[in-house]
Structures are given as C-alpha cells and as structure tokens.
Amino acid sequence: MPAIRLPDGSVRSYPTPITGAELAQDIGAGLAKAALAVRIDGQLRDLNSAIDHDAEVSIITKDSPEGLEILRHSTAHLLAQAVKQLFPDVQVTIGPVIDNGFYYDFAAPKPFTPEDLEAITARMRALVEADLPVTREVVSRDEAIARFGAMGEHYKVEIIRDIPAEQELSLYHQGDFVDLCRGPHVPRTGVLGAFALRSVAGAYWRGDSRNPMLQRIYGTAWATQKELDAFLQQQAEAERRDHRRIGTELELFSIQEDAGGGLVFWHPQGARVRRVIEDFWRAAHTEAGYEMLFTPHIAHEQLWFTSGHKDFYAESMFDPMQDEGQPYQLKPMNCPFHILVYKSKLRSYRDLPIRWAELGTVYRHELSGALHGLMRVRGFTQDDAHIFCRPDQIEAEIAGVLVLTRKILRTFGFERYEINLSTRPEGSVGSDAIWETATAALTAALQHAGLDYQVDEGGGAFYGPKIDLKIEDAIGRKWQCSTIQLDFNLPERFAMEYVAEDGRRAVPIMIHRAIFGSVERFFGVLIEHYEGKFPFWLAPTQVVVAPISELHADYAEAVAHQLQAEGLRVETDLRSEKIGYKIRAHTLRRVPFLAVVGEREKGNGSVSLRDRDGRDLGSLPVATLGQILRRLDTQRQQGLELA
C-alpha cells in the first residue's frame, strides 16, 4: 500500500502498487500526457515501472533537464532502429546523449551518405508515427550475450562482457528493435519528434585510434519544434560568425595551399588589427613590470634534449634541419630561450622576481586533420612570459598575473571566465613540499582575487600545478586562452640558480604564462566574438570619408588627412559611385564610421557621420569629429557611442 510523496509535499496513498503512468494520470490528464519517466527515491525509472512501496516520486516531463536527456537518448534509439531497418547488415554499438543532442555509432560495411541520412530521417518519422510502445526487459548476462550473438551484434556482446557482473542488464524493445540499455526511456516512440540528423563522421571504436573506425551519426533533439528551430538558428548564427569566412571577406588573413596548411598570412587589414593588439599588450606588460625579450626561431637540437622536449614533445615538433653537420630544431616553445638568458649571468635573490615577456613565434607539427582556420595552426605567436621567482614570491606573482590577465581580457570585452585549478598528477616531478607550497599559493591568489574556480584534481602537468582560464564570447561559447603554469622541472633540468640571502645557491621557481595563448587563435576568437565588427580601437579601417561627387573629392581628402594626423586609420572612397553604393560597401566591411561629405559639409567644414549599424549621427565639425574619435580610440571603448 504505497504512500507517495510528490515534489509539492502532498502525499497520495494507493491500495495496490501503481505505475508511474497511472500515478501521472491520477494527478492530471495534462501531466499524464507530458510524462516521460518517473523519479522514485531519486532514481530515474521508466514511466510504467511499478511503485510498490512508500516513496518520494516525481514525474519527469521533457521540460526538465532529465526529461530532455531521456528524450535525446530515446531519439538515439529511434535512429538505431531506423538504421537497422534500412541497413540490416549494420551493427549497432553505443548511442549516448551529448550537449544539444545525441549520436549513435554504427559498424557499417559502407559509410552513410547525406542521402542515407534523409532516408533514415524519413524512417524515424514513420516510426514516430507508428507510436510503438517502448518496453523494458531484464535479462541474465548469458542470455543477453546469446541473444546479441545470435543477432550478429558483436560489439554489443563485447560491451556486455565489460559490464560488471553484479549489474542488472536490461533490454529495451520498440517494435522489431532491441537494444541493450540501462534506460530509462520514453514510454512510446510517438512522444519523440523535434529532432534532426546533422552529420555523419568517422569515430574510433571506444575512442582509441588503434581500433576500427565506426560511422557516427550526430543528431539533435528538443522538447519542442520551437526549441529545435531556435537551436538550428543559433547554429546558423555561429556559422555567420565563422572567422574563416569573415577573415576572407574582410581580407584579414589567409592560409595558402602553396605554403602549406596551418601557416597564417596576415593581410594588411588583419595586420593592422594585430599591430594594435600587440602594441596594447606590450604597453600593458611594461606597465606591469615586464621586460621584453626577442629570441631566435631555431636552436641546436641539443638544447631540446636538455629541456626534455625531445623526450616528451617530439611528436609535436618539426624534424630538425641540418647545417654544417649540426642539427638545428625549430622551436615549439620559447621557454628554453628565456632560461638561457637567465643563465647568462649569476642572479641574486635581489633580482627576483624577473618577468620576461616575448611575442614569440613557435612552430608545432600539428596533425593535418587537427588544423582549423586560425584556431589550430602550425605556426603561431605566443604572448609568452616567464617569471622567475623565489618560493615566497609565488602568490604575489600569480596574483599579479591574474590582475594583468583580467585587465587585458576586459579590454576586449571578455568579462566572464571559467577558471580551473589543476593539481598534482601521478608521476610528477618536484618535492611534496614544493607542490604544497605552490598549490596553496595558487589557491590563495585565486581566493584573494575573489574569483570562482573549479579544482581539477590531478589535472596538472607533470612539472607543476596550473590555472587555466576560459573566456566566454558574445554568444556564450567558451574558449581556452589564458594559462598560468608553475614549472619545477625546467629549472632543475637547466640547473638554474640564484644566490640566496644566506649565500647558498637556490633553484628559482619558474612560471609560464600566456594571456592570449596564441595571437592567431585569439584573433580568430575576436573575429567570432565581434562577428567581424571590431570595436573602434581595433578596427582595421576606422573611418571612410566618402564624397557625394567628384566635386567634393578634394575636401574628402583634406578631411581624411586631418583625421590621419590624429593617428586614426582612415580611407577615402573617391569612386564615381552613388553614396548609397559606398554606404553599402563599407557597411558590409564593418567599417565603424562613414563620413559623408557633399556641398553642405564642404561649405561649413563638417562631415555627415553615420555608423555601421545604420545610425545617422548628424553633422559634426571635422575638428570635433577628430577629438571624439581620438577619445573612442584611446579609451578602447567597446561600442560606437560618441558621448
């Protein structure tokens, strides 16, 4: 005689065991219709599982996160059912829920084509239409193996063999389809519907590149068609922001087949932006007590044996080149060079902390399949810096890095971060004492800065703990850029030292840190973050002066010169085109301001100003415009408001 307590605190008693579906029906017809599953004493179960004891029960609908997950999982099963019907010789493997959707991996003799996806989608819709009941069956391990073995589902058999013996095995049936699954699932296929298959791709069995490659079909599923449409629209939005497309359109950069993949060419418009970014970076670092270094791009291979890169990082390095019988190595990192500068003379404890920064271009042999626009390249410039300090200075230095990092990121409009503190992993170098000191210092610095962070236990590098920072862009995507890493390894390997207060030699602590990470990648993130609409201070071309007709060309040039004299990046558009044409052209280029000059403006020394969002900012004297724009530029304002 179960007494059931509902989430609102009310209790319902029933004379006999009752299923989740019956309970929902008893509460209300609307709920019964929306119900997908039940939670019984915290356990998610199928809707038609029986409740035979006193319990806390809630009905799960697709409006809850759990409900949506079940919906997606059941849609993955629906996909598998459709595939099995259309391609009987395909074996099923796994079909989990992921962010925004699901996938299902199949061992298919022939890869799926886009046309196959359409056919599969159509079959899925038919199966929804058929409204098949979804039922659960508990089976013994031997029986499960026998059944899937008989069906020729060898991957399933392998999965079953790996499931711990004590765990109950359940099968889910819907029509002719049966799958091994923990569940829970929706009660009927008819409740599914707001889904779309998105792509097909290869994926290794069990994620191991030594295993055979399976065919993975990705899909997305939502509670309502409206949410599905919104999601697809958001995907389209992300596509519109694609830095590769915008980069070509705005002539910011290119990657040339003739030169090779992953090697970036900065065109004049992109190079202007980079220059502004780098100038700002240098100024901010100088202000924060850093000195700038320049170091070579190659060095004797031996240096990389000393650093350990040849042992631990060889796969990511280009092969050495020979010169006069000596092997030279293109650098994948800057740190050994900064260490050599440190070691060029004896250092005192009084010299510490030493902060050295370099926009250092490095080359890494990324696998060809990993390359992606500016986000993953083979040659890139790190905004690198190394701090050498005493153990007692760690906390203050980390705090300083955090302040500088936030200051710089905020200037680009990044205010929200996700921060991870990664602690000591297995098999790491360095003493217990130094790991404790360092980890405590990192923690203290984060706490004093009032920053929220998550601890990734054992997620540190073998050479030291680290803080990683992900920035959130304008449409909520997260990008890993900044990193602060302590290093107990390299100072030992290079036998770095300083003379301590007591006259003994001590080993300095080394901190690696980057704020942008890679200038190329950060630029790519900026393009997507701004959708190519750079704030005024970053815009490659800040103003275009466009005359109404040739009669005003001289005046337009005079205005442009005057603004250039203020240090602004100005162009004129003297083409024999109507003003509407020029407006359209420069608006599409995302130039922040267009200064239109005609008879009126020429007459009174003004311009008619308009911004790229189509706002008419009225008429302004040229001198006033110069002042206003100068201020926008130096203040690095995000928006284009003139006030």
Partner RNA sequence: GCCGGCAUAGCUCAGCAGGUAGAGCAGCUGAUUUGUAAUCAGAAGGUCACGGGUUCAAUUCCUGUUGCCGGCACCA
Segment contacting RNA by CB under 7 A, of 53-61, 79-87, 310-318, 635-643: 310-318
**Is 255 an interacting residue with respect to RNA (CB under 7 A)?**
yes
CB-CB contact of 6 with 58 (8 Å): yes
Residue 466: active-site member: yes
Residue 446 CB, nearest distance to RNA (Å)? 21
**Is 368 an interacting residue with respect to RNA (CB under 7 A)?**
yes
- What is the 8-class DSSP label of residue 346? -
**Is 325 an interacting residue with respect to RNA (CB under 7 A)?**
no
**Is 592 an interacting residue with respect to RNA (CB under 7 A)?**
no
Choice from 594, 620, 622, 629 touching RNA (CB under 7 A):
594
**Is 580 an interacting residue with respect to RNA (CB under 7 A)?**
yes
Residue 285: active-site member: no
d(CA 470, CA 264): 24
CB-CB contact of 636 with 537 (8 Å): yes
**Is 209 an interacting residue with respect to RNA (CB under 7 A)?**
yes
- Which CB sits closer to RNA, 215 or 405? 215
Residue 98 CB, nearest distance to RNA (Å)? 8
Scan residues 434-493 and list those touching RNA (CB under 7 A): 461-463
**Is 639 an interacting residue with respect to RNA (CB under 7 A)?**
no
Rounded to 10 degrees, what is the CA torsion of 44, 45, 47, 52? Answer: -110
Choice from 616, 624, 631, 635 touching RNA (CB under 7 A):
616
d(CA 234, CA 560): 40
**Is 312 an interacting residue with respect to RNA (CB under 7 A)?**
yes
Q: Which of 338, 406, 424, 512 is catalytic?
A: 512
- Which CB sits closer to RNA, 142 or 237? 237
3-state secondary structure of 525: helix
Instruction: Give how far Cα 386 sits from Cα of 130, 279, 509, Å.
Output: 64, 19, 10
Residue 46: active-site member: no
**10 Å Cβ neighbour count for 166?**
5
d(CA 318, CA 337): 18
CB-CB contact of 270 with 373 (8 Å): no
Residue 424 CB, nearest distance to RNA (Å)? 12
d(CA 637, CA 146): 68
3-state secondary structure of 341: helix
Q: Which of 39, 364, 529, 589 is catalytic?
A: 364
Burial call 213-252: b when 16+ CB within 10 Å, e when fewer: ebbbbbbbbbbeeeebeebeeeeeeeeebbbbebbeebeb
Residue 136: active-site member: no
Q: Which of 216, 272, 329, 335 is catalytic?
A: 335
**Is 265 an interacting residue with respect to RNA (CB under 7 A)?**
no
Segment contacting RNA by CB under 7 A, of 172-180, 209-217, 347-355, 434-442: 209-217
**Is 67 an interacting residue with respect to RNA (CB under 7 A)?**
no
**Is 519 an interacting residue with respect to RNA (CB under 7 A)?**
no
Which of 85, 62, 375, 338 minimizes the C-alpha distance to 192?
Answer: 62
x/- string (CB under 7 A) for RNA, residues 100-129? -----------x-x----------------
Choice from 200, 228, 273, 514 touching RNA (CB under 7 A):
200
Tokens at residue 428, please? 């790491």
Burial call 440-466: b when 16+ CB within 10 Å, e when fewer: ebbbebbeeeeeebeeeeebbbebbbb
Residue 389: active-site member: no
Segment contacting RNA by CB under 7 A, of 44-52, 208-216, 346-354, 437-445: 208-216
**Is 295 an interacting residue with respect to RNA (CB under 7 A)?**
no
**Is 550 an interacting residue with respect to RNA (CB under 7 A)?**
yes
Choice from 99, 166, 176, 208 touching RNA (CB under 7 A):
208
d(CA 165, CA 216): 29
- The sign of the torsion formed by the CA atoms of 524, 529, 532, 537 equals negative
3-state secondary structure of 491: helix
Residue 164 CB, nearest distance to RNA (Å)? 23
Choice from 12, 267, 282, 372 touching RNA (CB under 7 A):
372
Amino acid identity for residue 45 in this structure: R
58 exposure class (CB count in 10 Å sphere: 0-12, 13-18, 19+):
buried
d(CA 485, CA 401): 11
Q: Which of 81, 91, 329, 382 is catalytic?
A: 382
Amino acid identity for residue 519 in this structure: V
Contact residues: RNA, CB under 7 A: 111, 113, 199-204, 207-209, 213, 215-216, 244, 248-249, 255, 257, 260-262, 309, 312-313, 315-316, 333, 366-373, 461-463, 548-551, 576-581, 583-584, 587-588, 594, 596, 598-601, 608, 610, 612-614, 616
Q: Which residues are catalytic?
A: 335, 364, 382, 384, 386, 466, 512
